A and B are shown apart, each in its own frame.
Chain A
Amino acid sequence: MSKPVLWLACFALLALGAAPVRAQEAASIPKESWSFSGPFGTFDRAAAQRGFQVYEEVCSHCHSMNLLHYRDLVGIGYSEDEVKAIAASKQVTDGPNDQGEMYQRPGRPSDAFVPPFPNEQAARAALNGALPPDLSLIVKARADSSPIKGLSGGADYVNALLQGFKEPPAGFKMSANMNYNIYFPGNQIAMPPPLAGNDVQYADGTKATLPQEAHDVATFLTWASEPTMEERKFTGAKVLIFLLVMTGILYAAKRQIWADVH
């Protein structure tokens, strides 16, 4: 039996290892320890809320998060009233009203995150022609070359990138309006260093160092990329317990039924 098992294992390896081996131009991404990694990992609510604060006060000036709604924020531990207050602090364009005109009103929890720019052209016009990517799915879209790492891989990348701005090495040719980042493929990124440390005043008194801010915002963005992750893992545990018990019973039944054949 060992040979077939070996080959089954090979099939599994093919399935898992088929990720393309990409030419790595950028420095290798340091691994962080994350609250959400592993089969029982959950989102650290305090870190995610701090990360949301960093997003609000820094990232959101350029980056949209179109797939999120203010109501989603209860998922990182804000109360309904807090969500209402956060939403109400935004101005949302609504309409047309019965005069046929668009108008501004305070946000509601059911509104999507208000984007910094009305359209792509406006963003490019304001930012030297660069278009900041929407951050709703950035962690799932950047899980580097080994997708088996899942969400942690993408969070590692975001965390590293935010801390990866350095002076370009001597002789490195920089294009206009670009910034040097050791973790970005090609090392030239249009985004200027967004965080330097002490960019925000954390409400819970945590010291806002650069690694702390990067870690928090990566936690927030990971939650944003898959708010159903905790439900998925929790459901998975129940499903697996059921399947293990059921399969055990089926095995016993199989032995019983086949007893007279062997």
Chain B
Amino acid sequence: MNAPGNQSQSKIVRWIDHRLPVFTFMQHELYDYPTPRNLSYWWNFGSLSGIMLVIMMVTGIFLAMQYTPNATMAFDSVERIMRDVNFGWLMRYIHMNGASFFFIVVYIHIFRGLYYGSYKEPRELLWMLGVIILLLMMATAFMGYVLPWGQMSFWGATVITNLFSALPVVGPKIVAWLWGGFAVGNPTLNRFYSLHYLLPFVIVGVVGLHLIALHQHGSNNPLGIDRKGPQDSIPFHPYYTIKDMFGLGVFLIIYAIFVFYMPNALGDTQNYVQANPLQTPPEIVPEWYFLPFYAILRSVPDILFIPAKLAGVLCLFGAIGVLFFLPWLDTSRVRSARFRPVYKWVFWLLVIDVLVLGYVGANRPEGWFIVAGRVATLYYFIHFVVLFPVIGWLERPLPLPTSISAAVTKKGGARLAGASTPMEKP
């Protein structure tokens, strides 16, 4: 396709496009869509997330053809997939590790947005749709982890659904409603299976909105300044299609090393034991991508009249909920941290904080882990609620370049080597 639909060489293309303008649409969103010329490799993680979503859905649909959502048969049906179904082990390991890699990619995508201020005007709704996608992903991943019906599936489901019992008055009713009974059991497994199949399609819908919002104003860029004219942008295709594909290749190599050579490295061995409601495993730990949130949940003590369990649940949801308000909590009008001498360092503190939370979440809440968990939890909220507005007010940003092309091309003054060294000091 080298011409827009209506001017295409092919009569068939013109005939279709006149009635269903798919070719015009593709022309508009891929060739005409202007993209900043200076996007770094950190911008690959958006399309990688989309590809991961497709990989998860495709492998998931094949797994669903062989899986049996029944409390007495689920565990054995997964093992049947591993042993007897042709390439079943491959589908399952791609899907199982895919959950981890989906989260790695999405977390990097989110932190990239945080560093370069991609949530700021006019991209607030784009950011908020992203937070909704994250929430949907977490729900989907949690319910998917229950399906193999191993020990950690069962006890993880028990612990997490029990969180809702902390809510006053309605809590116990909600929990019974989630379970479809008075404990995690066959009805729970059936509804989780149904929802685990449904939610990815909901995610596809929200991703569609996310892309519409993205294409309204186009991508942000490492300089965080708006495109001022055609010299600042290049067409998405072929420039970013090939860059995304190269990035995909590198990503798939790492992903494949896990799938083929250490497929269980990111999982819990306890999930190879069939669920047993009468035997609690020595440790109930969620998958690694929930560990920072799990640490927040367990770290919160009684706050005034709020019992620790409820306070923990509120903080757990608050930790994601606060992201919705970020566009207004950040008072700085400069987007990119490159030109924000204070925020640039504080950003890395948040990264460290989340890593500490993850480490704390993986360990029993004993000794200094309690202290570390509380400090890290407190810092997490201070970062968003206090530091973001205060730094925005007090910080004196560096002067912004006049345009993207001036900053990244040799003839336009100081060369910032935009695409290849994104986070070097300006």
A143 touches B362 (CB 8 A): no
Can you name 14 A-B residue pairings with CB atoms under 8 Å?
A11-B107, A20-B364, A21-B363, A136-B79, A137-B79, A140-B269, A141-B269, A141-B270, A144-B269, A226-B82, A236-B257, A239-B256, A254-B243, A261-B37
A257 touches B238 (CB 8 A): yes
* Distance (whole angstroms) from the CB of B308 to the closest CB of chain A: 21
Cβ contacts under 8 Å, A72 to chain B: 83
Q: Considering the complex, give the chain B residue whose CB is closest to the CB of A72.
A: B83
Bound CA span A190–B267, Å = 28
A67 touches B249 (CB 8 A): no
Verify if A7 is at the interface (C-beta below 8 Å from B). yes
A185-B282 contact, Cβ under 8 Å, with A141-B272, A235-B90, A250-B249: yes
Cβ contacts under 8 Å, B265 to chain A: 16, 147-148, 150
Binds A, one of B283-291, B334-342, B384-392: B283-291
Verify if A90 is at the interface (C-beta below 8 Å from B). no
Bound CA span A67–B259, Å = 23
A251 touches B260 (CB 8 A): no
Cβ contacts under 8 Å, B82 to chain A: 226, 228
Verify if B242 is at the interface (C-beta below 8 Å from A). yes
Verify if A1 is at the interface (C-beta below 8 Å from B). yes
Bound CA span A240–B253, Å = 6
A141 touches B256 (CB 8 A): no
B358 touches A18 (CB 8 A): yes
Q: Contact mask B252-263 → A, CB, 8 Å, 1/0?
A: 110011011111
A257 touches B239 (CB 8 A): yes
Cross-interface CB contact of B267 among A136, A147, A250, A254, cutoff 8 Å: A147
What is the number of contacts between chain A and chain B, taking CB atoms within 8 Å? 146
Verify if A107 is at the interface (C-beta below 8 Å from B). no
Verify if A173 is at the interface (C-beta below 8 Å from B). no
Binds A, one of B57-65, B324-332, B418-426: B418-426
A250-B359 contact, Cβ under 8 Å, with A20-B283, A20-B364, A147-B264: no
Chain A interface, DSSP helix/strand/loop, else mixed: helix
Cβ contacts under 8 Å, B361 to chain A: 18
Verify if B273 is at the interface (C-beta below 8 Å from A). yes
A251-B288 contact, Cβ under 8 Å, with A140-B269, A236-B259, A239-B260: no
Verify if B306 is at the interface (C-beta below 8 Å from A). no
Q: Contact mask A240-256 → B, CB, 8 Å, 1/0?
A: 10011011001101100
Cβ contacts under 8 Å, A67 to chain B: 76, 79, 83
Cβ contacts under 8 Å, A23 to chain B: 364
Bound CA span A235–B89, Å = 11
A258-B239 contact, Cβ under 8 Å, with A20-B364, A147-B265, A240-B253: yes
B269 touches A227 (CB 8 A): no
Cβ contacts under 8 Å, B6 to chain A: none
A243-B242 contact, Cβ under 8 Å, with A15-B266, A136-B79, A228-B89: no
Q: Considering the complex, give the chain A residue whose CB is closest to the CB of B108.
A: A11
Verify if A45 is at the interface (C-beta below 8 Å from B). no
User: How many B residues touch A, CB cutoff 8 Å?
Assistant: 61
Verify if A27 is at the interface (C-beta below 8 Å from B). no
* Distance (whole angstroms) from the CB of B259 to the closest CB of chain A: 7
Further contacts, 8 of them, CB under 8 A, given A15-B100, A141-B272, A142-B269: A3-B423, A11-B355, A22-B282, A66-B76, A228-B82, A240-B253, A243-B256, A250-B245
Cβ contacts under 8 Å, A144 to chain B: 269
A253 touches B257 (CB 8 A): no
Bound CA span A184–B243, Å = 52
A1 touches B37 (CB 8 A): no
Bound CA span A39–B250, Å = 20
Bound CA span A251–B282, Å = 48
Verify if B351 is at the interface (C-beta below 8 Å from A). yes
A14 touches B359 (CB 8 A): yes
Cβ contacts under 8 Å, A4 to chain B: 42, 422-423
Verify if A232 is at the interface (C-beta below 8 Å from B). yes
B260 touches A236 (CB 8 A): yes
Chain A residues 1-40 with CB under 8 Å of chain B are 1, 3-4, 7-8, 10-11, 14-23, 39
* Distance (whole angstroms) from the CB of A63 to the closest CB of chain B: 14
Q: Considering the complex, give the chain B residue whose CB is closest to the CB of A68.
A: B83
Cross-interface CB contact of A140 among B249, B257, B272, B363, cutoff 8 Å: B272
Verify if A154 is at the interface (C-beta below 8 Å from B). yes
Verify if A233 is at the interface (C-beta below 8 Å from B). yes
Bound CA span A19–B239, Å = 40
* Distance (whole angstroms) from the CB of A8 to the closest CB of chain B: 8
Bound CA span A214–B272, Å = 22
Verify if B135 is at the interface (C-beta below 8 Å from A). no
Q: Which of A3, A20, A72, A154 has the most CB of B within 10 A?
A: A20
B83 touches A20 (CB 8 A): no
Cross-interface CB contact of A257 among B242, B260, B282, B288, cutoff 8 Å: B242
